[in-house]
Amino acid sequence: MKFILLMLCIPFLFVSCFVSIFSSDDSDSTEEETVEDTDDTDENAEEEETVPEEITEVDITSDVFISNFFSASYDYKGVSIFSTYDYMVRQLGEPEESGQIVDGTYYSYGPIAFNYPVEAAGDTQDVQVDGIIIFPEEFYKSDAVENYGWPTFDEPGNFRMFYDGDTENGFYTMLTYDRDDRITAVTLHNKNLQDTDFYEE
């Protein structure tokens, strides 16, 4: 009788062993897949953090632009007055070109550029934006007056006009134009207009 009972129990023992082994293997493979998925997620997150913002046109007639730009609180994709050169590059990527309109050097991203008091070379982590320059398309002096009001003064001989409603706030806005009165650049500069070479009593 005991022999018969023993023979009946043997298959159940084999089945239990096999079930335990396969369950352990499945658990291990699931853990490995979870770890691999986590690694992939971390890598994707790092890639997303380093992708620069897409450069888009600036609507210089919008209420948001006008109120923020002329009060020096404007930012483009997170870059604003006093942002560092390194931060600008992290946000927008490497600039397309450089040039000069006001004191210092600007670095351009097509429709917009950021001016620095010195050329960005070597250690750039402390070099800060002191000007923002917008390059509009098909925007004229008449459009500027319609949207921004009459300028503080106009210099037709130098092809530029200025907005400086508050001489104590530490910045001015200059619009340069060509012979057809087309605005070529709208520049916000972090400096009192009276302290610049542009100013005339």
Q: Please tell me whether residues 93 and 191 are part of one structural domain.
A: yes
Q: Please tell me whether residues 39 and 74 are part of one structural domain.
A: no
pTM above 0.75, yes or no: no
Q: Is the Cβ–Cβ distance between 192 and 152 less than 8 Å?
A: no
Q: Please tell me whether residues 32 and 92 are part of one structural domain.
A: no
Instruction: Tell me the pLDDT band of 19, cut-offs 50, 70 and 90.
Output: very low
Q: Please tell me whether residues 96 and 188 are part of one structural domain.
A: yes
**Structure confidence at residue 57 (pLDDT):** 92
Burial of 3 (0-12, 13-18, 19+ CB in 10 A): exposed
**Residue 161 within any structural domain of the chain:** yes
Q: Please tell me whether residues 43 and 142 are part of one structural domain.
A: no
**Structure confidence at residue 49 (pLDDT):** 60
Q: Is the Cβ–Cβ distance between 112 and 135 less than 8 Å?
A: yes
CA distances from 15 to 11, 18, 19, 22, 40 (A): 6, 5, 6, 11, 37
**Residue 57 within any structural domain of the chain:** no
Q: Please tell me whether residues 26 and 87 are part of one structural domain.
A: no
Q: Please tell me whether residues 184 and 109 are part of one structural domain.
A: yes
Instruction: Tell me the pLDDT band of 149, cut-offs 50, 70 and 90.
Output: very high
What is the arithmetic mean of pLDDT over 33-42?
A: 49
* Backbone φ, ψ for residue 104 (5° rounding): 100, -160
Q: Please tell me whether residues 22 and 95 are part of one structural domain.
A: no
Q: Please tell me whether residues 88 and 39 are part of one structural domain.
A: no
**Residue 6 within any structural domain of the chain:** yes
Q: Please tell me whether residues 25 and 68 are part of one structural domain.
A: no
The domain tally of the chain equals: 2
CB under 8 Å to 180, separation ≥6 — which residues?
Answer: 140
Range of the domain at 36: 1-51
Q: Please tell me whether residues 71 and 122 are part of one structural domain.
A: yes
Q: Please tell me whether residues 83 and 6 are part of one structural domain.
A: no
